[in-house]
A and B are shown apart, each in its own frame.
Chain A
Amino acid sequence: MKKYFYPKQIRLLLTFLWALAALLPVQAQAFDLTVRGKVTDESGEALIGATVAVKGLPRGITTDTNGDFSLDVPDGNAILVVSYTGYQTREVPVAGQTTLVITLKAGTNSLDEVVVIGYGERTRKDVTGSVGSIGSKEIEKSIAAAPELALQGRLAGVLVSTPGGSPTSRPTVRIRGIGTFGNNEPLYVIDGLPITEGQSGNEGGRGGDLRGAVNLLTLINPNDIESISVLKDASAAAIYGVRAANGVILINTKRGRTGTPRIDLNASYGLQNVVNRYEMLNTSEFASFIEEAYANNPGETFNPLMRTAIDALRNSPTYDWQEENLNKNAPTSDYSARIYGGSAATQYSVSGGYSYIESPLKGNNLRRYTMATNVTSKLSNWLEAGVNYRLGYVEALDETSVGGQGFDQQQTARVSPWQPIYDPNNPYGFAPTADVTFKDNPGYDPSKTNPGAPRDIDAVNLLWGPESSSNGFAYREATDLGYQIFRNFGTAYLQLEPIQGLRFKGSLSVDYSNSNPRELAYSWRNTYFSETPGNPFALGNGQSLGSYGERNVNNFNLVKEFSVNYRRVLNNHNFDILLNAMDQRYSWYGTIAGNEQNQALDQKFWGLSSIDNRYTSTGTFREDNALQGYMGRLSYNYGGKYYADVTVRRDGSSKFAPEYRFGVFPSFSLAWRLSGEEFMQDVRFINDLKLRGGWGQLGNQETRAYAFLSTVSNTPDYSFGSGNGNGIGTLTGGVNLPDFPTRDLTWEVSTTSNFGVDLLAADNRLSFTAEYYSRLTDGILQAASLPASVGNQNPPIINIASVRNKGFEFSANWNDRLGDLGYSIGGNITTINNKVISTYQDEPLGGEGGRIEVGQSIGYLWGYKTDGIFASQAEYETWKATHDDKLINNGNAVGAGDIRFLDINGPGEGSGTIVNTPDGVIDPNDRVYLGKVVPGYYYGLNLGTDYKGLDLSVFFQGVGDVQAYNYTRSGMESLLENGLNMTTTVKNRWTPQNTNTDMPRAVARDPNNNLRFSDRFVEDAGFFRLKNVQLGYSLPRATLNRMKMQRFRVYVSATNLLTITKWSGLDPEEINTRNGSIIPPARTFLLGINVGF
């Protein structure tokens, strides 16, 4: 084992350093000259709260309510640095004067933009790592509830996928590709607090179920966000060590500032709609399609339920479930207010917000209330304290899946077209799915522990054929799937600055959220309106109207931090040293409870209390984690020309065995600002030019907790003791060991190199950044697939695989003004070359929909290649003479109209090897690369212009060089009789009369296995989208001054106006939605207003 520093030694070292720092003589600084002045904007209006500092000294002051300041400077040669948010920072030489009027130009110079880099902030020109950031101006343009979506298309290297039109769902955020097989979620840090969420990265399965359907980040109101920074490379992200391998997203909220109180008000209201629909067969087309499918396979007996349905229903009307499920003109509204201000000593900000957003599909909405406050106060010139508190409350409804299955656009489209939705004669008003009759249960004995049901199902008649669908509308009527989520988030800190430049800061942060999903369901919905009718009498001794379930899911996160920061300027040497110790404990825990004996007619009175505890159930779950980190960062620059940053972080995680727990993550970066050199002074065209490069290592600890231990599962049960009239016996709890323990499990390490160039030219009008990155993730925690004959239940997790992502990022922006007309053009593009470097035993893993293989892009599509359609029986027979297709379902019924699959490979010499030589056999060896799911490039494009009070911005976003398997289409064009409806594209199917087609014939049970995973359903999933257009009008300053206002702007905005894509589904991003539910991104028209006093 490697020898690392131990915490004890680090503690000693830190203590020593502080003591040393405390004893350092404060350099006697003589302040001989007092400069007074005023800071104004170009119109002469006073700027309140502008910062005035002496260059080279760490502290400054802010202007008062008249824009005035008074500052002591060392001598007449001092240079003042004057800055104000939204204005270009200026350096003003004092030049011996004692009174100055300083005018700041509106608009930020990108170099002076302050970038939050984690444990501090820096001006853009001093950044050495790869950090992208956006400010509140861009964030404002995003109309989504989720703050992540504000990043969409805005930053190079950051890909944010639209999670569909549901307001509750979570976008997928991927920074510079996909680096691991498991959790690829970046680390989110909100106001310095690394946040956690139980089951993060998990969308499906039990974990995803317990995590719930609502994005926890929606509890943060985007209106409260000042900026979002993304730390992309190791040298930037290394300060977050073991959690930073997937990148870090820093969300910084709005603060108070010196000056008279100000009020910002924002309101917007919009309407959302889904644009596209699946074109489905009508009832008569559907009926004849099925008959054709059976006629084409004489070996297949007509499904009797289907026969009956066709005979009875072939002349029925066509019912459009898809249309009925749309929530047309779904409203989205958002209102927020913020009051902020402060004196030179104390600044505050208080905000509140309310939004209500409906999904463009029925049964899904989100209502959010947020409150936030922060106060920072300088108690004396060496002591500062602050508190930041935030509270969010969400009420959400998510019935996009009912009765355990999705009820989205896809599901509704596929309902057999003859199945009606409503039935006025039904007591519940809906058309039932099944006719269910009951009989008495002779074995019913209420005196037994297991009394059985008083009545049993006698017969079930599915009314609309074998694929009678559950009536989701009736389900929604009889159920309530709601969430109440409460999030509490706070940090308090104390900072001492005993001598100038030396700061000690201690902070304590807590993030606690409680999610309380509930599910109420009347049992009749599960009997008459379900495609798998249950027995309502089996519930609660036959005395119950339905079931009630409740969960209480808690996320708790406690962070204690202590840091020492020392900044010093000695001549041209600028030092900034940071030492930090962090201790974090976070857990995810909760209870699940249910009661199946509810007798009140009104659901409001349902709950967990029941008269008989046999019918209540409870359970708990828990996951605890702890992290410790020690971090040191040394930043140095010489005269703003030569920069070096060195960071070392040592982290320990409770997820791993004690001897594999701690790791060290080093990084460094260097930068050279060429434009600071003498020889560049004559190059007028270039205003600023910086070269930078960095290297570093990061960790990813996101894997199953305690995977190094083999936990005992007490889930399997078995019953003994039945007989003599007792068919049930007594259930006995058993145990097993489902895991394959891996003691030496540790985190994944990603090693990143980054080279970049930043250029500002043409009178600051052109800014350009180019970067090259290469990230090798090593020791990926891979759930190694072992042969089934090993008998392990859960695959072992081993640090084994590696993946490399490399590529380029470019971003450029042109900003200019022609008189009253201002305009800007900006864009960014990112390329990704993703390649798996090694896997366990270098063996490929994963199936056809997501194959992981050395040398290929991660999760690529793997399957068979098609080679047209057999035009005639003779053509098939000829082919069959030389080919043996092992994947067919029924060799007797293959023929004309079926797909010919390509024979590409054959078996090699050794067992399990294949060679690229056809062997006349179509078998699993013939599966090949069909496409990749990691986009090769993605980009964003911004156009902006303003003229007098008008402003217009147009924003495009796109993804390219990416493929996806269209599972929805494969279902809707399956061409075998299964009772689910088909898209109208199948009308072009092969028939003896229609042979010039690529759509195979309709044939029951698919004898040729035309539906096997093949290139037939692999499509280009790239797109180019007109994401947002916004037109605004602001009142001129003179008018505002008259009205005593700071800001008045009205705007109209349109989102998702146009999408150019080859994707044949409803939307190229539909595949990103939760559990594969298809809720396409909505087209939104919005009207909004921003007012500031």
Chain B
Amino acid sequence: MKKIFTTIFLLLTSAFMYWSCKKENLDLLPLGETEVSFYNSESDFNRSVVGIYAKLSDFYWYNGGSGLHGIWHLPGDDITMVGSDAYEIFTGLNATNGGLNEYYKQAYQLIDRANTTMQKINASDARIYSTPGLKTQHLAEAAFLRGYMHFCLYNFFGTAPVRTQRVDTPDEAQLRLSNSTGTQLLDQAITDFQTAAAGLPIAYPATQAGRITANTANGFLGKALVFRASYNQTAADFQAAITAFNKISGASLVANYGDNFSALTENNAESLFEFQATQPGFDNVWLNNDFESSGSGSTSAYWGFYENHWSRFGAPPFIATDKYVAAFEVGDPRTQFSFDTTGKAIKKYVLTDQKSQSGVASVNNPRILRYADVLLLKAEAILESGATAEAIALINAVRTRARGAGTVPADYSTSEADQAKIFAWIAKERLAELGGEEGHRWFDLKRWHAAGKINLGAWDWSSASTAGVQFDITKNLLYPLPANELDLNPNMQQNPGY
């Protein structure tokens, strides 16, 4: 009897074991889609491209009080602040600077998203893309954004590495790139802008406004060529820039200069590239854009440094320098949109603003590239070829829009033949037109110094800082590469002087 029980028990338990210990029990579904299962529809790729754009918010958001804006606004001579911010007075700038580390990191993360998107599109099944031109457009958008980041890295860090491949295996050579040399970063930007320009439409339906167009790409292509021409003194690049600028079609200067900084007139005819500031379900300015789909995070842009918002907690605002103020002729209508002449508070972006629900940040888009910038760059390129009248006409186009129905600023005489004088007009016009925007001034000063047109070694920075600017020409033309990069990458050399 006992034996029968035993046998039955053994059979039952064997069955139980077999059932309970199937090896397949370990094959659980992952928690979401994986790289292997994703990327098999046009929509998947579109979302991948959107993911690249989204990274732009990391440069413009409030970042819980640690925004990166000082990196591009403060070093030039258009915007200043009292106090001793390292970007303003240069001393104290070093490889452990948190903002620079963050900027650098985010730039390469954007590049990685672009590289990954391109890798996936290029490897995709030919049957996935059925909409004509969409594959080329997606590749072009990715290429543009990668190029844009290389352009910025060149202007800030100069020798950061060129990254054109996604790193997804521990391949030493790819993990630890060396410094770029010369204008390699710019070269890469130019290549990417060329790819983008060839693959993008001129415009999108209104619902897609804000995507990169062929005009954006050509604008940046020309801009990067002018920059390379300044650094290398190559006439061919100036010529190529003019060709690129000429491919821009349908863009125009908007009648009202102030529309360039208003939350109500974003993505207008003058605008070639903007960061599309917005608000999610709730704009939480303490959490970045990469939030859970149902959660909150920041997709907005911060302008509190101009309006002296309480969220600065008493830290001094960014204000106009005397130099910037002086760049305007008395009565220039642009003044009222640019700053408040008494306190020198910057008015751009904050005059007609729209705050996100946070009450701290704004949905007002930073304009990254405007047609006015393109016209003045084109004037500079044309001037190099000696076509002075044509160059002056372009400056006058900007001035015509600026004065509106008024008389100031008046047109320059197109008969002026002194190239140095015309260059000075362009430089002054760029300061007046573009001051306080996107670090244009800092980039311009650096390239003009490289081209020998000005000498930053003995420069008046027009700073309001009582701490005193200590600009060291042997090192401060480039920002220090982040310590974190150097610690982990023995193939990298720090920029001179740091």
The smallest beta-carbon distance between B252 and chain A, in angstroms, is: 15
- Is the C-beta of B34 less than 8 angstroms from some C-beta in chain A? yes
Chain A residues whose C-beta falls within 8 Å of the C-beta of B104 in the assembled complex:
788-789
As a 0/1 sequence over residues 83 to 125 of chain B, the CB contacts with chain A under 8 angstroms (1 = contact) are 1101001011011100001001100111111011000000000
Residue of B20, B207, B316, B498 with most partner-chain A CB within 10 A: B20
- CB proximity of B264 to chain A, nearest CB, Å: 5
Q: Which residues in B have their C-beta under 8 angstroms from that of A721?
A: 206-210
Say whether B92 contacts A890, CB under 8 Å.
yes
Complex: how many Å from CA A506 to CA B34? 38
Give the CA-CA distance A725 to B262 in the complex, in Å. Answer: 9
By the criterion CB–CB under 8 Å, are A789 and B267 in contact? no
A318-326, A452-460, A1050-1058 - the one binding chain B: A452-460
| Contact B294 A729, beta carbon cutoff 8 Å | no
Decide if B109 touches A791 in the complex (CB within 8 Å). Answer: yes
Q: Sort chain A's interface into a size bin.
A: 35 or more
Question: Which residues of chain B from 11 to 43 have any CB-CB distance to chain A below 8 Å in the complex?
Answer: 13-14, 16-18, 20-21, 23, 25-36, 38
- Name the B residues within 8 Å of A733 (CB-CB): 47, 50, 293
Specify which of A22, A460, A893 is in contact with B467 (CB 8 Å cutoff).
A893
Q: Mark B462-498, 1 if CB is under 8 A from A, else 0.
A: 0001111010000000000011111111111100001
CB-CB under 8 A from A304, the residues of chain B are 314
Any chain A CB within 8 A of the CB of B357?
A: yes
- A654 interface residue (CB < 8 Å to B): yes
CA of A911 to CA of B490 in the docked complex: distance in angstroms? 6
Give the CA-CA distance A891 to B465 in the complex, in Å: 14
* Pairwise interchain contact B10-A790, C-beta atoms closer than 8 A: no
Give the complex CA separation of A730 and B104 in angstroms: 29
Q: With the chains together, A729 CA to B54 CA distance in Å? A: 14
Cβ 8 A contact of A583, one of B21, B57, B176: B21
| In the assembled complex, B388 has its CB within 8 A of some CB on chain A | no
Partner of A787, one of B176, B354, B364: B176
Q: Name the B residues within 8 Å of A822 (CB-CB).
A: none
Q: Contact at A534–B358, with CB atoms within 8 Å?
A: yes
9-residue interface stretch from B241-249, B284-292, B325-333, B437-445: B284-292
For A985, the chain B residues whose CB sits under 8 A away are none
A1033 within 8 A of B: no
Give complex CA distance A844, B3 in Å: 65
- Given A715-B293, A892-B91, CB of A457 within 8 Å of CB of B359: yes
Q: Which residue of A lies closest to B286 (CB)?
A: A404
Does A11 sit at the interface, judged by CB under 8 A?
A: yes
Q: Indicate whether A538 reaches chain B with its CB closer than 8 angstroms.
A: yes
B182 in the interface (beta carbon within 8 A)? no
Check A467 against B313 for contact (C-beta < 8 Å): yes
By beta carbon, the residue of chain B nearest A560 is B20
Q: How far is the CA of A18 from the CA of B96 in the complex (A)?
A: 66
Smallest CB-CB separation from A620: which chain B residue? B294
A740 CB to nearest chain B CB (Å): 7
Q: Is B434 an interface residue (CB 8 A)?
A: no
A912 proximal to B (CB < 8 A): yes
**CB closest residue in chain B, given A538:** B357
Interface residues of B in 343-368 (CB under 8 A from A): 354-355, 357-360, 363-365
Please give the distance in Å from A562's CB to the nearest CB on chain B: 5
| Cα distance A714–B289 in the bound complex, in angstroms | 11
Chain B residue contacts of A613, Cβ below 8 A? none
Asked if A791 meets B167 with Cβ closer than 8 Å, knowing A299-B468, A712-B34, A723-B267, the reply is yes
A228-236, A748-756, A792-800, A1068-1076: which lies at the B interface?
A792-800
Expressed in whole angstroms, the minimum distance between the Cβ of A310 and any Cβ of chain B is 12
- Chain A 557-585 interface mask (CB, 8 Å, partner B; 1/0): 00010100000000000000000010101
Interface of B is mostly: loop
Please give the distance in Å from A246's CB to the nearest CB on chain B. Answer: 22
> A419: shortest Cβ distance to chain B, in Å?
14
Q: Name A843's closest neighbour in chain B (CB-CB).
A: B488
Q: Which residues from 156 to 185 on chain B have a C-beta closer than 8 Å to any C-beta of chain A? A: 160-161, 163, 166-168, 170, 174-177
Inter-chain contact A786/B50, CB cutoff 8 Å: no
Name the residue of chain B whose CB is nearest to the CB of A630.
B21
B260-319 CB contacts (< 8 Å) to partner A: 263-268, 276-282, 286, 289-295, 297, 299, 310-311, 313-316
A532 on interface, CB distance cutoff 8 Å: yes
Least distance between A131 CB and chain B CB atoms (Å): 28
Q: Which stretch (A514-522, A702-710, A967-975) binds chain B?
A: A702-710
Q: Which residue in A299, A627, A705, A731 is a CB contact (below 8 Å) of B465?
A: A299
A7 within 8 A of B: yes
Answer yes or no: B2 CB below 8 A from chain A CBs: yes
> Is A94 an interface position by the 8 A CB rule?
no
Is A65 an interface position by the 8 A CB rule?
A: no
Q: Which residues of B contact A787 (CB under 8 A)?
A: 175-177, 484-485, 488-489, 492
A958→B442 CA distance, assembly (Å): 59
B355:A456 contact, CB within 8 angstroms? yes
Chain B residues within 8 Å of A712, by CB: 32-35, 38
Residue of A nearest to B6 (CB): A498
Interface residue? A605 (CB, 8 A): no
User: Do B278 and A731 have beta carbons less than 8 Å apart?
Assistant: yes
Give, as a whole number of angstroms, the nearest-CB distance from B493 to chain A. 6
Task: Assess the A735–B47 pair: CB atoms within 8 A.
Answer: yes
Q: Considering only CB atoms, which chain B residue lies closest to A716 in the complex? A: B54
Q: Which residue of B lies closest to A847 (CB)?
A: B484
Contact B167 A792 (CB under 8 A): yes
Chain A residue numbers with a CB within 8 Å of B30 are 706, 709, 711
Contact A729 B210 (CB under 8 A): yes
A912 pairs with B292, CB closer than 8 A: no
Residue B9 interfacial (CB < 8 Å): yes
Contacts of B25 in A (CB 8 A): 583, 585, 626, 628
What 1/0 mask marks residues of chain B from 43 to 62 whose CB sits below 8 Å from any chain A CB?
Answer: 01001111111111100000
Q: Which chain B positions have C-beta within 8 A of A741?
A: 35, 168
Closest to B162 in A: A789
Mark each residue of chain A from 422 to 445: 1 if its CB lies under 8 Å from any CB of chain B, else 0: 000000000000100000000100
Residue of A443, A623, A705, A793 with most chain B CB atoms under a 10 A cut-off? A793
B211 & A735 in contact (Cβ 8 Å cutoff): no
Cα–Cα, bound, A537→B224 (Å): 45
Please, how many angstroms separate the alpha-carbon atoms of A732 and B161 in the complex? Answer: 31
- The winner among A453, A532, A627, A727 for most chain B CB atoms within 10 A is A727
A11 near B18 with CB under 8 A, answer: yes
Report yes or no: A893 in contact with B53, Cβ–Cβ below 8 A.
no
Contacts of B35 in A (CB 8 A): 709-712, 737, 741
- For A467, A630, A715, the residue with the greatest tally of chain B CB atoms inside 10 Å of its CB is A715
- CB proximity of A468 to chain B, nearest CB, Å: 9
Q: Does B7 contact A (CB under 8 A)?
A: yes
- The answer to whether the Cβ of A301 comes within 8 Å of any Cβ in the partner chain is yes
Q: What are 12 A-to-B residue pairs whose CB atoms are below 8 Å?
A: A11-B21, A300-B466, A453-B357, A506-B13, A562-B17, A626-B25, A706-B30, A712-B34, A727-B266, A735-B47, A788-B484, A924-B487
With A714-B293, A892-B467 known, 10 other A-B pairs at CB within 8 A are A504-B9, A617-B281, A712-B34, A718-B56, A733-B50, A735-B48, A736-B54, A787-B484, A891-B92, A893-B84
Interchain residue pairs A-B with the least CB separation, the first 9: A791-B112, A299-B467, A734-B50, A716-B54, A305-B314, A734-B51, A719-B278, A466-B314, A538-B357
Taking beta carbons and an 8 Å cutoff, which residues of A are in contact with B? 7, 11, 14-15, 18-19, 22, 297-301, 303-306, 382, 404, 434, 443, 450, 452-453, 456-457, 459-462, 465-467, 496, 498, 504, 506, 532-535, 538, 560, 562, 581, 583, 585, 592, 596, 617-619, 622-628, 630, 652-654, 658, 661, 705-706, 709-738, 740-741, 785-793, 796, 798, 843-844, 886-893, 910-913, 923-924, 979, 1005, 1007
Chain B interface (Cβ within 8 Å of chain A)? 2-3, 5-7, 9-10, 13-14, 16-18, 20-21, 23, 25-36, 38, 44, 47-57, 82-84, 86, 89, 91-92, 94-96, 101, 104-105, 108-113, 115-116, 160-161, 163, 166-168, 170, 174-177, 206-211, 263-268, 276-282, 286, 289-295, 297, 299, 310-311, 313-316, 354-355, 357-360, 363-365, 465-468, 470, 482-493, 498
